[in-house]
């Protein structure tokens, strides 16, 4: 019993949700006027059988003139015209309001996703998130459009139709014909909780299909390189088969419900014809009334069936809203503290003060007891084995994750007290993956501003030593780079990504292994440009090649999350530790390559 109560509450979650109620309140005028048009149309529809019945009775009794028939025809034409116009208006108003709600929810969803921390995206797949803003949102829109429409339509049509059947035709005939129709509402309402579960399962299955396709298409080059097409096709067939199964489970319910509804409606019609024909022959009602009653009964079948359809649509919308709200209720973890204050002078001095950091939901320290300082205008080199925590260090500097108070200071201010906008506007970041948007090269470089001159864009490209490559493209800076920059080589992507960071002229520039895909000559040019053109500004360079960071003012060596060495190049070589070991190994590799 408790489980059934929970399921019914879930079905009603759409109308109970304060979030949805806020939108209904916002667009209530459209719903109210649309409902009034709908009620007017339903009322006019119930007048048509009466007019037709009166004409039939007049013809049977031979007491109606041609002029009267003509007037009735004109009346019917006017009613039909009003109905057509009314349907246009209520569709525009009710469906229009639902479209606006869909737009607003999608905006809210996207805005909230933009605020969520990296933790959320690490734990939730892109395809699943895409399902929220497509399929689930569509189900909510349908509930706010067809669902709301049917609620008003069913109520109005039932009221007007039953009133006319009772007052204009015959009470006993109305009761006899309506009793079978009540079973339609009972059957569909009982199936509501099961429908909720099956629709929720269908949406989950769709999310898995969406995620599988998104991930495979993103990694298509890897799949082909390892000749895994057949394996991936087989894996997709399993995921798709599960989606097919969940769809079929849902469709089986629909397939069973429709014939049942049709049978019950047919039974009601049979009762009406049998009993109605009997009382018509006995003179209790006229032939015109009997014809009008059959028309009313046809009108009544729709709202009875619509009760079930309304439950279905609202059930689906409720299930989808529950999934959407699960995202909207995700806590925003990275935000400005109450002590956040704008810096009058953001300068690039950095201090790490005994920093300790664990990733969420882990017990192992990714970084432990990290302490060092970088003065404004200095270049910091960071080196260490793969997975030692180098990227984690700069992620914390960008506040992609929160740190303890008094762990990191920039310009003498605790990083937790610096507004996120101020912090990130003053840091230029070139990540390892060099993500580019499916847009022109120009727009990718000018991403941080969007309105800089072509001279600024070209200047940044020249700084990053990628201008000549761009000029070689047929469309130059207007070249579309494709999804994630797939049409560019690794080195070109790195340098375009670097130009995007450089064009900001940030106080702090972070290069996370950002010249690994370029040749040594190009690397040397880029490093020379950094030294000449970023004088007085702070640079942080993470690298595996010692040659990349050996001229840095200060170098730190990280191993297994701990800072094990720091100093300049000569000091670290003389120290004969991990840094010297990596340096000597790379010197040997260089000598072997030169001899070869």
- Look up residue 546 and give its two tokens: 């010692």
Give the largest Cα separation in the chain, rounded: 121
pLDDT tens per residue across span 378-408: 999 999 888 888 889 999 998 988 899 999 9
- Look up residue 153 and give its two tokens: 């339509």
pLDDT of 189 reads 64
With left for phi above 0 and alpha for psi between -120 and 50, is residue 559 left, alpha or beta? beta
- Of 290 and 237, more confident: 237
pLDDT of 593 reads 65
- Of 173 and 551, more confident: 551
- What is the third-level CATH fold of 435-504? Rossmann fold (3.40.50)
pLDDT of 255 reads 72
Judge whether residue 581 has pLDDT over 70. yes
Contact partners, residue 105, CB within 8 Å, separation at least 6: 23, 137, 140, 324
pLDDT tens per residue across span 536-551: 899 999 988 888 888 8
Q: Identical fold at 335-426+506-596 and 435-504?
A: yes
Helix (H, G, I), strand (E, B) or coil at 141: helix
- Over residues 343-371, the mean pLDDT reads 87
User: How far apart, in whole angstroms, are the C-alpha atoms of residue 228 and residue 372?
Assistant: 46
How many other C-beta atoms are found inside a 10 Å radius of the C-beta of residue 421? Answer: 11
Judge whether residue 356 has pLDDT over 90. yes
Judge whether residue 196 has pLDDT over 70. no
Residue found under tokens 């009406």: 272
Among 160-169, 226-235, 407-416, 427-436, top mean pLDDT goes to: 407-416
Task: Give CA torsion, residues 276, 159, 182, 273, to 10 deg.
Answer: 10
The CATH classification number of 2-328 equals 1.20.1560.10
The DSSP secondary structure of 285-354, one letter per residue, reads S-HHHHHHHHHHHHHHHHHHHHHHHHHHHHHHHHHHHHHHHHHHTS---S---TT----SS----EEEEE
List, in sequence order, the alpha helices (H) in 12-65.
Answer: 13-16, 18-26, 28-61
- Provide the residue ranges of all domains of the chain, joining segments of one domain with +: 2-328, 335-426+506-596, 435-504
pLDDT of 382 reads 92
Q: Strands 413-414 and 408-410: what pairing?
A: antiparallel
pLDDT tens per residue across span 485-527: 777 888 888 888 888 988 888 899 998 888 777 778 888 888 8
Contact assessment for residue 496 and residue 445, using Cβ atoms and an 8 Å cutoff = yes
Judge whether residue 200 has pLDDT over 80. no
- Look up residue 349 and give its two tokens: 């001095």
The rounded percent of the chain whose pLDDT value lies above 90 is 13
Contact assessment for residue 73 and residue 51, using Cβ atoms and an 8 Å cutoff = no
User: How far apart, in whole angstroms, are the C-alpha atoms of residue 197 and residue 36?
Assistant: 34
Helix (H, G, I), strand (E, B) or coil at 264: helix
Q: Which residues pair with 351 in a beta bridge?
A: 373, 409
The rounded percent of the chain whose pLDDT value lies above 70 is 92
Averaged pLDDT score across all residues of the chain: 82
pLDDT of 8 reads 46
pLDDT of 9 reads 46
- What is the third-level CATH fold of 335-426+506-596? Rossmann fold (3.40.50)
pLDDT tens per residue across span 206-262: 878 877 887 777 677 667 666 777 888 888 888 888 888 888 887 777 677 667 777
Judge whether residue 4 has pLDDT over 50. no
Q: Which pLDDT band holds residue 554 (cuts at 50, 70, 90)?
A: very high
Q: Which pLDDT band holds residue 188 (cuts at 50, 70, 90)?
A: low
User: How far apart, in whole angstroms, are the C-alpha atoms of residue 411 and residue 293?
Assistant: 84
Contact assessment for residue 152 and residue 232, using Cβ atoms and an 8 Å cutoff = no
Which letter does DSSP use for residue 478 in this model? G
Sequence-separated contacts (24+) of 283-288 with Cβ below 8 Å: 284/170, 285/169, 285/170, 285/173, 286/53, 286/57, 286/60, 287/56, 287/57, 287/60, 288/52, 288/53, 288/54, 288/55, 288/56, 288/57, 288/58, 288/60
The DSSP secondary structure of 339-361, one letter per residue, reads T----SS----EEEEEEEEE-TT
């Amino acid at each position: 019993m408790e489980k059934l109560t929970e399921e019914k509450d879930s079905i009603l979650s759409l109308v109970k949700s304060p979030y949805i109620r806020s939108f209904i309140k916002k667009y209530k005028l459209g719903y109210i006027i649309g409902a009034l048009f709908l009620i007017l149309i339903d009322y006019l529809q119930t007048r048509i059988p009466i007019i037709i019945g009166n004409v039939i009775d007049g013809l049977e009794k031979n007491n109606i003139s041609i002029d009267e028939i003509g007037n009735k025809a004109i009346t019917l034409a006017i009613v039909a015209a009003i109905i057509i116009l009314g349907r246009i208006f209520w569709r525009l108003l009710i469906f229009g309001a639902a479209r606006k709600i869909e737009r607003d929810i999608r905006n809210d969803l996207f805005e909230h996703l933009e605020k969520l921390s990296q933790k959320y995206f690490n734990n939730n797949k892109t395809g699943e998130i895409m399902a929220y803003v497509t399929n689930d949102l569509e189900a909510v829109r349908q509930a706010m459009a067809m669902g709301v429409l049917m609620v008003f339509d069913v109520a109005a049509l039932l009221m007007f139709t039953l009133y006319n059947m009772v007052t204009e035709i015959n009470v006993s005939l109305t009761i006899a014909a309506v009793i079978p129709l009540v079973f339609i509402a009972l059957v569909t309402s009982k199936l509501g909780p099961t429908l909720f579960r099956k629709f929720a399962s269908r949406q989950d299955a769709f999310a898995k299909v969406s995620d599988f396709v998104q991930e495979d298409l993103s990694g298509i080059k890897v799949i082909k390189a390892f000749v895994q097409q057949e394996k991936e096709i087989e894996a997709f067939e399993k995921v798709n088969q599960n989606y097919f199964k969940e769809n079929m489970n849902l469709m089986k319910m629909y397939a069973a419900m429709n014939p049942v509804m049709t049978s019950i409606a047919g039974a009601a019609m049979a009762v009406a014809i049998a009993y109605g024909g009997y009382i018509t022959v006995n003179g209790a009602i006229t032939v015109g009334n009997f014809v009008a009653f059959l028309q009313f009964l046809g009108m009544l079948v729709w709202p009875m069936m619509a009760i079930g359809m309304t439950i279905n649509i609202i059930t689906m919308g409720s299930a989808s809203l529950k999934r959407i709200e699960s995202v909207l209720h995700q806590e925003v973890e990275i935000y400005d503290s109450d002590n956040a204050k704008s810096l009058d002078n953001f300068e690039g001095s950095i201090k790490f003060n005994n920093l300790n950091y664990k990733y969420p939901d882990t017990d192992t320290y990714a970084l432990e007891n990290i302490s060092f300082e970088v003065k404004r205008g200095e270049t910091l080199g960071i080196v260490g084995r793969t997975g030692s925590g180098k990227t984690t260090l700069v992620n914390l500097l960008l506040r992609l994750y929160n740190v303890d108070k008094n762990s990191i200071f920039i310009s003498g201010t605790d990083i937790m007290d610096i507004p996120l906008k101020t912090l990130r506007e003053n840091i230029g970041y070139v990540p390892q993956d060099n993500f580019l948007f499916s847009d022109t090269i120009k727009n990718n470089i000018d991403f941080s501003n969007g309105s800089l001159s072509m001279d600024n864009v070209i200047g940044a490209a020249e700084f990053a030593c990628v201008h000549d490559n761009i000029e070689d493209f047929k469309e130059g800076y207007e070249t579309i780079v494709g999804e994630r920059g797939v049409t560019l080589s690794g080195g070109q992507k790195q340098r375009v990504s670097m130009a995007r960071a450089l064009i900001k002229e940030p106080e702090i520039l972070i290069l996370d292994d950002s010249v690994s895909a370029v040749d040594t000559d190009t690397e040397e040019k880029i490093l020379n440009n950094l030294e000449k053109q970023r004088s007085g500004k702070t640079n942080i360079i993470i690298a595996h090649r010692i040659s990349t960071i050996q001229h840095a003012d200060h170098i730190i060596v990280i191993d297994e999350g701990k800072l094990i060495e720091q100093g300049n190049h000569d000091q670290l070589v003389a120290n004969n530790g991990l840094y010297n070991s990596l340096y000597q190994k790379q010197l040997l590799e260089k000598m072997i390559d030169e001899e070869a």
